[in-house]
Amino acid sequence: MTTSPHPTLAEWLAYLDRMGKSASTSRNYGRAVLHFIRWSEQSYGEPFDPAAIIPRDVVDWQAFQQRVEKAKPATINLRLVGLSRYFKWAVARGYARQDPTVDVASLRLDPRHPKALTDRQARRLLRQVAKSENLRDMALIELMLGTGLRVSEVLALQVEDVVLAPRSGEVIVHRGKGGQRRVPLITSVRSALRQYLDS
């Protein structure tokens, strides 16, 4: 069980045990609250008092984790959950007048970047599509692998957006409000597109 610098933390952890919370959940919650308590005492130079904590303190704690500790948003959000559980209990027991976490928003999580295929996976995919002898599928797969275009961008292409010359080629990708970008095509992509368009 987490060593507590404040008696309410030990009491709360005992309460979680009685409520049947798993050991890992209690441990993670305890670490989150302990992290906040230590940060609070170091930041303000006074003993932790749950009744004295205000929402601004919680926001500053989040900022400290993000800017100083370089913690990931997911980690900060999980700690906020633990702190929120503690303060709900503290209010119910009369140790705090308000829950300072109620109006504190979780941090926005970074969108996951799509995982790229390895060279081996790409070759296997192309080989499988080639076996089907479907020229359209082969052109689409070659185009996406050779340019990195999103599926939505490929689906939005029109025939006139594909520009093929004997030794060069490009596709014109349209953006909102009339914007566009030109993406050059490597030889294998040009060949696959040419076979499909000529079929």
Which CATH number characterizes residue 21's domain? 1.10.150.130
Count of structural domains within the chain: 2
Stretch 16-44: mean pLDDT? 93
- Of 59, 93, 127, the domain-final residue: 93
d(CA 134, CA 150): 21
* Cα torsion angle, 74, 78, 83, 88, sign: positive
Q: According to the model, what pLDDT value does residue 122 have?
A: 86
* Residue 2 lies inside a defined structural domain of this protein: no
E strand map for the chain: 162-164, 169-174, 180-184
Long-range contacts of 56-62 (CB under 8 A, 24+ apart): 57/100, 58/83, 58/100, 58/101, 58/104, 59/104, 61/36, 62/104, 62/107
- List, edge to edge, every strand of the sheet that includes 169-174: 162-164, 169-174, 180-184
Local confidence band at 106 (pLDDT 50, 70, 90 cut-offs): confident
Q: What is the pLDDT of residue 112?
A: 62
pLDDT, greater one: 113 or 164:
164
pLDDT band for position 27 (cuts 50, 70, 90) = very high
Q: Is residue 173 assigned to a domain?
A: yes
The answer to the question of residue 166 being in a domain is yes
Q: What is the pLDDT of residues 178-188, one digit of tens each?
A: 778 888 888 88
Q: Predicted confidence band at 4 (pLDDT cuts at 50, 70, 90)? A: very low
Q: Is the pLDDT of residue 113 over 70?
A: no
Nearest to 6 by CA among 90, 80, 76: 90
In a domain, 191, yes or no: yes
pLDDT in tens, 44-103: 999 999 999 999 999 999 999 998 999 999 999 999 999 999 999 999 999 999 999 998
Q: Are 10 and 4 in contact (CB under 8 A)?
A: yes
pTM confidence score: 0.55
Which tokens belong to 44?
Answer: 């303000």
For residue 72, being part of any structural domain is answered with yes
Range of the domain at 37: 7-93
The label of the residue with tokens 């060279």 reads 119
**99 assigned to some structural domain:** no
- The amino acid present at 156, given as its one-letter code, is A
| Separation in Å, CA 183 to CA 78, 139, 154, 163 | 42, 15, 12, 10
Give me the pLDDT at residue 5, please: 63
Give yes or no for residue 1 having a pLDDT over 60: no
The tens digit of pLDDT for each residue in 121-177 reads: 888 988 998 888 889 999 999 998 888 888 888 888 899 999 998 888 899 888 777
pLDDT score for 133: 86
What integer pLDDT is reported at residue 111 of this predicted model? Answer: 63
| Rounded Cα gap, residues 20 and 67, in angstroms | 35
